[in-house]
Amino acid sequence: MSQVIRYERIDDIAVLAAQNPPVNALGVDVRRGLLAGIERAEAEGARAVLIYGEGRTFFAGADIREFGKPPQDPWLPALCDRIEASPLLVVSALHGTALGGGLEVALSCHYRIAVPSAKIGLPEVNLGIIPGAGGTQRLPRVTGVEAALDMITTGRHVRAPEALSMGVLDCVKEGDPREIGLAYARELLDNNAPRRAVCDMPAPAPIDFDAAYDAVLKKGRGQLSPAVAVRAVQAACEADDFAAGQARERELFMELMTSDQRKGLIHAFFAERAVSKLPELQGVEPRPLHQIGVIGGGTMGAGIATAALLAGLDVVLLEMSPEAAHAARDRIAANLSGAVKRGKLSSDAHDDILQNRLTLATDYDALSHVDLVIEAVFEDMAVKKQVFARLDAVCKDGAVLATNTSYLDINEIAGSISRSSDVVGLHFFSPAHVMKLLEVVVADQTAPEVVATGFALGKRLGKVSVRAGVCDGFIGNRILSTYRACADHMVLDGASPYQIDKALTDFGFAMGPFAVSDLAGLDIGWATRKRKRAAGQDPRVRDSSYADKLCEAGHFGQKTGKGYYLYEKGQRAGLPNPEVMPLIEADRAAQGLAPRVFTDEEIVRRYMTAMVNEAAKVVGEGIARRPLDVDVTLLYGYGFPRYWGGPLKWADLNGLADVLTDIRNWSEDDAYFWQPAPLLEQLVAEGRSFDDLNKEN
């Protein structure tokens, strides 16, 4: 008898209870248990079958860990057909998240009941595939094409009340899934309710599927699975019969299952869960977190305070004057109002936060009892050291002292006070209450429980936290500065900022590097270039002046309405700024550079290879623990297209040997910039991949 599907008889109802924690994934043993259960119920003369999940949820989908391995009988589509074909009345009782194959099992049942908190969904497109067990054929028969396309192409979760109104659920009732399921099955039997196989329902009315396909493909920015799902739903309307529609779904599903995008998206799914699992934190207890202090109420500080307040933490916000403190409060109030507008926060909660949970202060003594302090003051080492000296004097023993610095040496900050082991970097990304990435930067003396506390705060704030070591730019900004420099080099050598931006948005980025610079503010890059020149950068670094000239003219991008692009009032998307190319041409002439033609493919190849090479150095130096840590950083902080899984997954998919060959070829023109990462050379020599490294750590 199956260990993962418990079989019971309650009078004439057979009960199949899934017991496969944590999410009752439909692995082969679960499928075999369900099949055996259905067959046993029929053999024993039951009149109905109830299927439900023990633990936190109904089946949350196929077992993603089986992807890429040879499928084992019974395949999920066949199992769903078998459940549907049973002569018994089959009822499913849903709770938690009935997703993917889980919802497909429920749709193959004849009736569906759920608790009010249950959610359903077909999120397969987020894994680079489409529903492959009849979901694209059964859902449209139940809800109609429009509602089915919305669910399937977005992968969104639908709450039980909406699912009831869509016709996916027959009943929503408070209670224990098993109990409400049994009562519902009993009621159906008593009323002689008929079997109601969805496959026997008429094919749904068609829509203009070509228009739907084009619209979804455009929205997907290069991701294929949502658009392919449109074609599968089209088959539900146009195929000769249900079986033919299922065959078309299977054909499209198998095509996507072998795609690089499926490999990239599955990698992203598991990487974003693995990134917070660090061996050095096993068994390490984080310190308690009830109230935190934030120093500096500018955009970043106010964003951090907002994130903490939204997560239910109390916040003491310290500014240098009452006026600055109130300005910070206004920024926080505006952030919270945004959350109310987006339906993420009730207006009562909004008021409660501002009246009772946020404390403004101008004296460090107000921080004497907080559990953790994050400073987000001016990026100047002397200023940071002054702040930490005050914290050292005022904060209680065990308080975690965190800096939000983007690039200053955290070892130097930590070394300037008596409790270096309590110091950690918490590098948020602006806007801090929206961006999910948090780099937890571990200095030489940082205590393990302080690192654990940083991760615990990140989890509490709903962030994706990545451990980083100390270097200029940690993980993300260090890699960014390299691939951004590569873009500048291509501009000097003949490409335009506009061709580069388009080539990279066609590759899948939401925005190209020059549009991103306009968004972030050209003055930030300008300050960094000046800082690095003043610090005495290597003379072999290829420098340029065209961007400086833009800034000297006061053009900082979106915030001044002009940068690489011109921004009409209120327009986010800009038009190329005609003043830019003359500055670039003058720069090329001054450096004696003859511009050449770049293809979009070469632009992407160089940009990605620069990113991969620097990422390999970051992993090789231990700044990032594993390649997946870099992938997650770029996915969550830099708009990297998720269906590639991250830069190092992209490199594995494209072949490390070819990446290294390109670097060696290009190093003939610029040996300083194109120095191969030792780790990359080692992996190629050993015939290993970045994924192999992920598996070793």
Q: Does 189 bind ligand T1G (CB under 6 A)?
A: no
Nearer to ligand T1G, 21 or 116 (CB): 21
Contacting residue, 33, 37, 53, 61, with ligand T1G by CB under 6 A: 61
Amino acid at 594: A
Cross-strand pairs, 13: 10, 48
Nearer to ligand T1G, 410 or 464 (CB): 464
Here's the x/- map for ligand T1G, 379-418, by CB under 6 A: it reads as ----------------------------------------
Query: In angstroms, how far is CA 630 from the centroid of its own chain?
Result: 13
Size of the site for ligand T1G (CB under 6 A): 23
Nearer to ligand T1G, 97 or 404 (CB): 97
Contacting residue, 33, 53, 128, 132, with ligand T1G by CB under 6 A: 132
Shortest distance, position 627 Cβ to ligand T1G, whole Å? 18
Shortest distance, position 97 Cβ to ligand T1G, whole Å? 5
Q: Does 123 bind ligand T1G (CB under 6 A)?
A: yes
CA dist list (Å): 468 to 420, 454, 459, 472: 17, 12, 16, 11
Q: Does 135 bind ligand T1G (CB under 6 A)?
A: yes
How many helices (H) does the chain have, and how many strands (E)? 29, 19
Contacting residue, 33, 37, 128, 131, with ligand T1G by CB under 6 A: 131
Contact 275, 628 (CB under 8 A): yes
Three-class DSSP category at 185? helix
Could you tell me which residues come within 8 angstroms of residue 58 by beta carbon, excluding any fewer than 6 positions away?
18, 24, 52, 92, 93, 94, 95, 96, 97, 98, 102, 106, 118, 177
Q: Does 458 bind ligand T1G (CB under 6 A)?
A: no
Nearer to ligand T1G, 124 or 587 (CB): 124
Contacting residue, 25, 278, 328, 402, with ligand T1G by CB under 6 A: 25
Measuring CA to CA, which residue among 385, 393, 365, 381 is closest to residue 293?
365
Shortest distance, position 434 Cβ to ligand T1G, whole Å? 19
Chain residues 98-117 in contact with ligand T1G, contact rule CB under 6 A: 99-101, 104
Chain residues 260-289 in contact with ligand T1G, contact rule CB under 6 A: 273
Nearer to ligand T1G, 256 or 679 (CB): 256
Q: Does 53 bind ligand T1G (CB under 6 A)?
A: no
Within 10 A of 311 (CB to CB), how many other CB atoms are there? 17
Options 95-103, 238-246, 514-522, 675-683: segment touching ligand T1G (CB under 6 A):
95-103
Residue holding tokens 């497909």? 104
Shortest distance, position 257 Cβ to ligand T1G, whole Å? 8
Nearer to ligand T1G, 22 or 343 (CB): 22
Shortest distance, position 295 Cβ to ligand T1G, whole Å? 32
Query: Which is it for the CA torsion 353, 354, 360, 365, positive or negative?
Result: negative
Nearer to ligand T1G, 137 or 404 (CB): 137
Cross-strand pairs, 94: 114
Alpha-carbon gap, residue 638 to 559, rounded angstroms: 20
Query: Which letter does DSSP use for residue 123 in this model?
Result: G
Contacting residue, 18, 49, 62, 651, with ligand T1G by CB under 6 A: 62
Structure tokens at 486: 């590569």
What is the set of active-site residues?
A: 104, 124
Structure tokens at 483: 């691939």
Q: How many CA atoms lie within 13 A of 517 on its CB side?
A: 30
Contact 525, 533 (CB under 8 A): no
Query: Which letter does DSSP use for residue 559 in this model?
Result: G
Q: Does 97 bind ligand T1G (CB under 6 A)?
A: yes
Binding site for ligand T1G (CB under 6 A): 22-23, 25, 60-65, 76, 97, 99-101, 104, 123-124, 127, 131-133, 135, 273
